[in-house]
Structures are given as C-alpha cells and as structure tokens.
Amino acid sequence: MIYADFNGSAPMHPSVREYLSKRVIDGPYANPNAIHSLGKKMGMGLEKARMSVAKNLGAKMNQIVFNSGSSEGITHVYHSVLNQTTKRTIITSGIEHSAVVQANKFYESKGFKIITVKTNPCGTICMDDFKSHFENNKSDIAMVSIMAANNETGVIQPHAEVGKLCSKNEVIFFSDTTQYIGKTDFDFCQSNMDFAVVSGHKIGAIIGSGVLLVKNPHSLIPLVFGGGQEFGKRGGTQNYIGAETLAVALEAFNEEKQRLNEINEMRLAFENKLKESFSNIVVIGDKANRLPTSTLMAYTGIHGQAVQIELESNDIFVTTSSACSDNEPETSKVLKAMGICDDIGRGVIRISFCTKVQQEHYDKIYNALFDIYSRLNKIKVS
C-alpha cells in the first residue's frame, strides 16, 4: 500500500506508534494536576513534552498551549483577539482552510469587516493587493489571518513578508500553520507570527492532540473554560498522552528534515516526468515555492475522482482535494481563487507525503498514473 494523503491525515509516525503502544500497555495514567505522585509524574511528563515541542518549534515553553488541534486553535485565536479589540477589520485570503473561513463568517456577522486579499494564478496571495489593503486600513486592523502553506496546493505563502509588515506596524498576525509545521522548517520566534497552530494528526502524532503557539501568552483569554489548566489559557484536563506523542513526532521530524531538499527534488522530478509524458498534465502552483511533500495535479478533462479510484485499485491512496470538500466534485474554492478553470479544477488529484517518502513511492505512482491516464485518455477521445 502507498498512502499519499498526509495532508488529509498523517498515519502515526512509526516512532509515535512504537512509543504509544508501549505507553498504552505500561501506563501509568493519572490527572496531571493531581496532588499525588502519579499525577505529578504525568504533570512532569507534560512539561517535558512542552519543553521538547517548544524546542523543536523555536518557541518558549510558556508559548505552548496544548489543545485538541488546529480547528480549536484557530477558533481560540479569533475568540481571544477579537473579543479584546476595538478594531474591526480582518485581512485574510481567499485560500484559507474552512475553519478560518467559518471563523471569518462568524465574526463578519458580529460586525467585523472581512477583507479578502486576491490570489495570484500561481497560488500565492497577491502581496501588492495585501499591502494596499494593509495601508488603507492600517489603524483599524484587528488581525491579519493568512495561512503559511495551502492544504490543497501545498503552495507556501509569503508569510514571512506579511509577518514583517505586521510586526513593524504592531498589527496582530495569525498564520494557519497546520500544513506548514512538520512539513518544512519552522521557528516560531523568527516567524513574526503572533499565533500559529498545530494539529497532531497532520504531523504523525495522535489524532485529537494539538498546539496553539502564542507569542504573548499573557494576552490570551481562554476559549474553553476549566480549572485553570494550561496556565488558565485552556480548560480541561490536559491531553498528556497527546502531548507526549506531539513531542515524539516533532522530534522525529527534526531528525528527518535534513531530507527535505532531497525530497523536494524527488517530487519535482516525478512531476516533470509526468509533464513530459503527457502534455495535458498541469501541476497546480508549480510556479510557486511549495511544500516538498505535496503535489496537486490534473490531467485536463479527466475527472480527478476517476483517477483516484483507479489509483486505489493499485493500492495507492490519494484524494481529489481536501478531505472537507472531497465529496463535492466541483472546482474547490482555493482553485477558483487562483482562477483555475473547471476542466482542470475537476481533474485534480492530491499526492501528499511525509519526510519518510522514498523514490519507489513516486516510481510506483508514476507507473500507475501513466497507465491510468493513457487508458482514460483513450476512453475520452474515442
């Protein structure tokens, strides 16, 4: 089996699997806030995990808030920032994940003005458009909310440039880093982000775990009420097992990230070989800097879902788009924002891996796709 839907959900990393299976059997379990030594042991484990996660994300320990994942993190950021400001403008992009889109809609209904920055055809946000909106609304910007890397295209956004501008002008910058962290290099302190988010299940940790990174933790108000856990910033008994798996997964990524260049080359070679074989193949965002492990591509006029099903019969698992919009055989919002036509938009498949990807995976997918596109193209034209 070749599992190539890591952007949708990453299977637990082998190190996490090994750690967790032993952890589950051996125990112990206790409330990390309990007074007894078992509780203190869990509490110490949690802080050890926090230290490791902080180190691997370039953050300070008190900037790490453990939670249930990115959707909660995103909601938390919006809740905390927008309930503590008199400013009323949010600058965002047209290629954000549904969680950000929904958050924007909710706060729009509460009276906030949402400005959506244009997207370039290559999949990055248009910096000229961003700068112009930024200048025109500077005194009223409650938050800039621009993702770091897109979940569908893998296109890396100019978050560093956005961050610098925000930082210089003391504007709060939240970046949805769900697809960025654990797939490429990241250093929170260097990022100029005020908030960033991690979903455990996107980086090989256990599903239901996550991190909210907060530059100024004192400014954060809780979304989830509770008994003072996470320094009063996130109620509920901490998911200490989840936090432990986050530490293991990020540590593993840190050890494997030396492969990123090699992986990037491998993926580019795979894409080029396909493009050379079929003139009708389009790799979305190939003019932009993308995540090393992510390919979104289409064969013009051949439906993505047909290809996905054919690949699956070869024991290769890809998606047509993001999990959230998979069931709609429409061109996705993200691709529409890029100005991509339906003939391509409906044809996309997404191939996404982790840092463990090997040449043989790409070879097998190439061979399968060569066969599938040759066959489907024949059906199409005949």
Residue among 30 and 160 whose Cβ is closer to its own copies: 30
Using CB under 8 A, which of the segments 182-190, 291-299, 321-329, 367-375 binds its own copies? 321-329
Q: How far is CA 109 from the centre of its chain?
A: 26
Q: Which of residues 328-367 bind its own copies (CB under 8 A)?
A: none
Does an H or E element contain 362, and which? helix 359-381
Q: Binder to its own copies among 327, 358, 367, 374 (CB under 8 A)?
A: 327
Q: Which of residues 38-67 bind its own copies (CB under 8 A)?
A: 38-39, 67
CA distance 120 to 138: 23
Could you tell me the sign of the dihedral formed by the alpha carbons of 49, 53, 56, 62, in that order?
A: negative
Instruction: For the CB of residue 9, give the shortest distance to its own copies in the complex, in Å.
Output: 4
Residue among 237 and 289 whose Cβ is closer to its own copies: 237
Instruction: For the CB of residue 211, give the shortest distance to its own copies in the complex, in Å.
Output: 13
The residues pairing with 173 across neighbouring beta strands, listed in sequence order, are 144
Instruction: For the CB of residue 29, give the shortest distance to its own copies in the complex, in Å.
Output: 4
CA distance 124 to 294: 15
Q: Which of residues 169-198 bind its own copies (CB under 8 A)?
A: none
Strands (DSSP E) found in the chain: 2-3, 64-67, 89-93, 113-117, 141-145, 173-175, 195-199, 210-214, 281-283, 294-299, 316-317, 348-352
Residue among 51 and 224 whose Cβ is closer to its own copies: 224
Q: Binder to its own copies among 124, 145, 175, 319 (CB under 8 A)?
A: 319
Instruction: For the CB of residue 102, give the shortest distance to its own copies in the complex, in Å.
Output: 4
CA distance 167 to 117: 19
Which residue from 312, 277, 318 is spatially nearest to 295, judged by alpha carbons?
Answer: 318
Interaction of residue 8 with its own copies, rule CB under 8 A: yes
Using CB under 8 A, which of the segments 70-78, 249-257, 335-343, 354-362 binds its own copies? 70-78
Q: Binder to its own copies among 116, 184, 199, 294 (CB under 8 A)?
A: 199
Residues 282, 331: contact at Cβ < 8 Å? no
Q: Which of residues 215-234 bind its own copies (CB under 8 A)?
A: 222-229
Q: How far is CA 322 from the centre of its chain?
A: 11
Residues 351, 7: contact at Cβ < 8 Å? no
Q: Which of residues 114-173 bind its own copies (CB under 8 A)?
A: none
Residues 295, 7: contact at Cβ < 8 Å? no
Q: Binder to its own copies among 52, 56, 70, 184 (CB under 8 A)?
A: 70
Residues 15, 248: contact at Cβ < 8 Å? yes
Instruction: For the CB of residue 101, give the shortest distance to its own copies in the complex, in Å.
Output: 8
Residue among 251 and 326 whose Cβ is closer to its own copies: 326
Q: Binder to its own copies among 3, 278, 366, 370 (CB under 8 A)?
A: 3
Q: Binder to its own copies among 89, 177, 239, 352 (CB under 8 A)?
A: 239
> CA geometry: angle at 155 spanning 63 and 350, to 5°?
110
Instruction: For the CB of residue 272, give the shortest distance to its own copies in the complex, in Å.
Output: 26
CA distance 121 to 337: 8
Residue among 131 and 333 whose Cβ is closer to its own copies: 333
Interaction of residue 103 with its own copies, rule CB under 8 A: yes
